[in-house]
Structure 1
Amino acid sequence: MRFGIIGTNWITDKLIDAGKEIKDFKLTAVYSRTEETAKKFAQKYGVDTIFTNLDKMAESDKIDGVYIASPNSFHSSQSILFLKNRKAVLCEKPATSNLKELEEVIKTAEENNTLYMEAMKIPFIPTYNVLKENLHKVGKIRKMVTGYCQHSSRYEDYKKGDVKNAFKPEFSNGALMDIGIYPLFLAVSLFGSPEKLYADGLILENGKGIDAQGIINMSYIDMDITVLFSKITNSYVPTEIMGEDGSLLIEHPSEMSELYFIDRKNNNKKTELTLPGQENSMYYELKHFIDLYNEGKTESPINNFHLMKKVMKIMDEARKKIGIIFPADKVK
């Protein structure tokens, strides 16, 4: 599968690195707003074709699909452009700025019978399936506490008055959108949508900037889930799914790097359930996407449109309660 790349940052490097392990992956084109950046990135990977115009890239016969890793606020329009040109789209998370945009992208994908998937790697990592298979061991599930808190190097620049894109609301960024989506996705993929939702957070610039950190509490009929996220602190606490008979511990929800079962009924015996896997965890989502393309599929049966919309709807509601409004939310 011939890929074009939009976005020349570290996450793009990681995806290309994962692609080296997949025989059907081929990088054939690079896009950047500036020719110099595009050439530099293309030369690094031995690519001959570069674009500084997205319309020309979308119309090109040099690519079968595109990986979008641009700022969040561009995900919707760029996805729609390529889908209309019948190019498969693997878009970095979050898929769009809000649910309205996501519904428009999905509608475009369906109208053009073209493959579209959000690059959310969690459900494709082998240990994720082991987690699902072992949920019954904890008995009646009562509580889940999960989070992703990672101090951003750009926050140090922010404190000095140098506000990078990662801290600008016009790019639909923030702790929830950038990293909180991982633990939230994990929770919703396992347990669905809540009955009630509460959210709060710290908004920078006296409430006019992005959310630097926050919390979402979700209530279900007989359990509750707490989701923590931050770009200004680190956390070293694992995700825990607590049941009446024991707990499951997950190190780092976005990587599923370690999984343990603690058996309350057996003197709290701790058993590791982690499956060995690829060092580059993006391998699995990329391999799945390429397989879908080769099979002529237009939607992932795992990270499907219904699940994507459920997660985005919760993020919209959480942002509303926290008080985060993006320019993309105001577009009619």
Structure 2
Amino acid sequence: MIRLAVIGTNWITDQFVAAALKTGEYALTAVYSRRQENAQAFGDKYQVEHYFDDLDELAQCEVVDAVYIASPNSLHGPQAIQMMQAGKHVIVEKPMASNVALATRMFEIAQQHNVVLFEAFMSPHTPNFKVARQAMQDIGRIRLAHISYCQYSSRYQKYLNGEQPNTFNPAFSNGSIMDIGFYCVGAAVELFGAPDSIHASAHRRLESGVDGSGNVILSYPNFNVVLSHSKTSSSALPSEIQGEDGSVLVDMISYGERVEKISRDGKREDLTVEQDKNPMLYEAIEFAQQVMNQKMVPHCTRRSLEVARIITEIRRQTGIVFPADSE
């Protein structure tokens, strides 16, 4: 049984804890929040015994084996490093770091301290994402792909009203490409590997200094992958992978709500398989396996580093700079 602590008490933490407990491999033993009462309020429903508002105390807690980190993006790297240096395994929400330099350092520290570092990127572990990847074998040579995730942020109006929500604040290493755009980049790397070149644009550069939306072209030897991401508009279009013999469509690339194959002759086939309503279940299973094996999976490490490299380059091209970049 993996004794789990969580950093952060928002809705995504609740969703991950529910997934982790459902696997039967975890016990939630500790909760950290900057305010003790918030930690207590979150943990009471899980009958947690240990609460912290001091990260040093959490790092030294002997009843914690692994830590799930769901704090603001800019804190992911520093908090993960602190926990790993104390001998804790870490699963950190995507994006795992503000930039590729920090992500590289994090994996170095994981190896030095013989712990598992795992990025909580749920997509590649879900059954329907795996179905989509397998279906690519049936559509001939890939010639073009369009991966899209555009969803009007519930906090965008707060930003327009003059407030400073974390989601649009460069101090927290946030913005569209760091948030939902991550799923587009991550899916492309998982499906096609590292691109030969990257060309990015940000069509909605906000006054706060982050991107509200944008496009990216990832070039591969025989095809391009076009990414569209937005937190200031919504889209109902699926992502599409086009081959010479047909195409694969995926609704909600983040977890694969529906997968369909369309043959060149127009025949349509629904390939969707049943998967858990909580798509974080599958990443929780994968992390548990790596912890129990006391070994990181090289493919996951390579993907995390490549995604961090691409997003760092996208930000360079679009002029998005975070305070964390100079630290």
TM-score, normalized by the shorter chain, greater than 0.5: yes
Separation in 2 of the partners of 1:92 and 1:194? Answer: 24
- In the TM superposition, residue 258 of structure 1 has moved relative to its aligned partner by 0.9
Task: Say whether residues 1:309 and 2:310 are aligned partners.
Answer: no
After superposition, residues 1-332 of structure 1 pair within 5 angstroms as: 1-201=2-202, 202-205=204-207, 208-264=208-264, 267-297=265-295, 299-302=296-299, 304-331=300-327
Q: Give 2:252's aligned amino acid.
A: H
The total of aligned residue pairs comes to: 325
| 8 Å CA contact 2:148, 2:229 repeated in 1 | yes
- In the TM superposition, residue 91 of structure 1 has moved relative to its aligned partner by 0.3
Single out whichever of 123-132 and 171-180 deviates more from structure 2: 123-132
- In the TM superposition, residue 136 of structure 1 has moved relative to its aligned partner by 2.0
Q: What stretches of structure 1 of length at least 5 have no aligned partner?
A: none
Query: Tell me, what secondary structure is at the counterpart of 1:4?
Result: strand
Q: Give 1:159's aligned amino acid.
A: L
Separation in 2 of the partners of 1:184 and 1:253? Answer: 11
Q: Give 1:233's aligned amino acid.
A: S
| 8 Å CA contact 2:158, 2:164 repeated in 1 | yes
- In the TM superposition, residue 9 of structure 1 has moved relative to its aligned partner by 0.3
Which whole-Å deviations, capped at 9, do the CAs of 1:259-279 have from their partners, x for residues lacking one? Answer: 111001xx3100011121111
Q: TM-score, normalised by structure 2?
A: 0.97
Pairwise CA RMSD of aligned residues? 1.1
| 8 Å CA contact 1:147, 1:229 repeated in 2 | yes
- In the TM superposition, residue 301 of structure 1 has moved relative to its aligned partner by 4.6
- In the TM superposition, residue 162 of structure 1 has moved relative to its aligned partner by 1.3
- In the TM superposition, residue 137 of structure 1 has moved relative to its aligned partner by 1.3
Query: Tell me, what secondary structure is at the counterpart of 2:177?
Result: helix
Query: Tell me, what secondary structure is at the counterpart of 2:216?
Result: strand
Q: Give 1:259's aligned amino acid.
A: V
Separation in 2 of the partners of 1:77 and 1:160? Answer: 31
Separation in 2 of the partners of 1:124 and 1:251? Answer: 16
- In the TM superposition, residue 43 of structure 1 has moved relative to its aligned partner by 1.3
Separation in 2 of the partners of 1:327 and 1:215? Answer: 23
Q: What stretches of structure 2 of length at least 5 have no aligned partner?
A: none
Separation in 1 of the partners of 2:298 and 2:126? Answer: 15
Which whole-Å deviations, capped at 9, do the CAs of 1:164-216 have from their partners, x for residues lacking one? Answer: 111110100000001101011111111112222111112111xx521000110
Q: Give 1:285's aligned amino acid.
A: E
Which whole-Å deviations, capped at 9, do the CAs of 1:101-123 have from their partners, x for residues lacking one? Answer: 00110000000110110001111
Separation in 2 of the partners of 1:23 and 1:222? Answer: 44
- In the TM superposition, residue 288 of structure 1 has moved relative to its aligned partner by 1.1
- In the TM superposition, residue 296 of structure 1 has moved relative to its aligned partner by 2.2
| 8 Å CA contact 1:5, 1:12 repeated in 2 | yes
Greater than 4 Å deviation, 4+ residue runs: none
Q: Give 1:275's aligned amino acid.
A: V
Single out whichever of 286-295 and 116-125 deviates more from structure 2: 286-295
| 8 Å CA contact 2:128, 2:255 repeated in 1 | no
| 8 Å CA contact 1:194, 1:218 repeated in 2 | yes
Query: Tell me, what secondary structure is at the counterpart of 1:14?
Result: helix
Q: Give 1:185's aligned amino acid.
A: G
Q: Give 2:75's aligned amino acid.
A: F
| 8 Å CA contact 1:169, 1:210 repeated in 2 | yes
| 8 Å CA contact 2:33, 2:39 repeated in 1 | yes
- In the TM superposition, residue 132 of structure 1 has moved relative to its aligned partner by 2.1
| 8 Å CA contact 1:117, 1:300 repeated in 2 | no
Query: Tell me, what secondary structure is at the counterpart of 2:240?
Result: strand
Separation in 2 of the partners of 1:223 and 1:168? Answer: 35
Single out whichever of 129-138 and 148-157 deviates more from structure 2: 129-138
Which whole-Å deviations, capped at 9, do the CAs of 1:235-254 have from their partners, x for residues lacking one? Answer: 11000001111000001100
Query: Tell me, what secondary structure is at the counterpart of 1:225?
Result: strand
Separation in 2 of the partners of 1:64 and 1:133? Answer: 35
Q: TM-score, normalised by structure 1?
A: 0.96
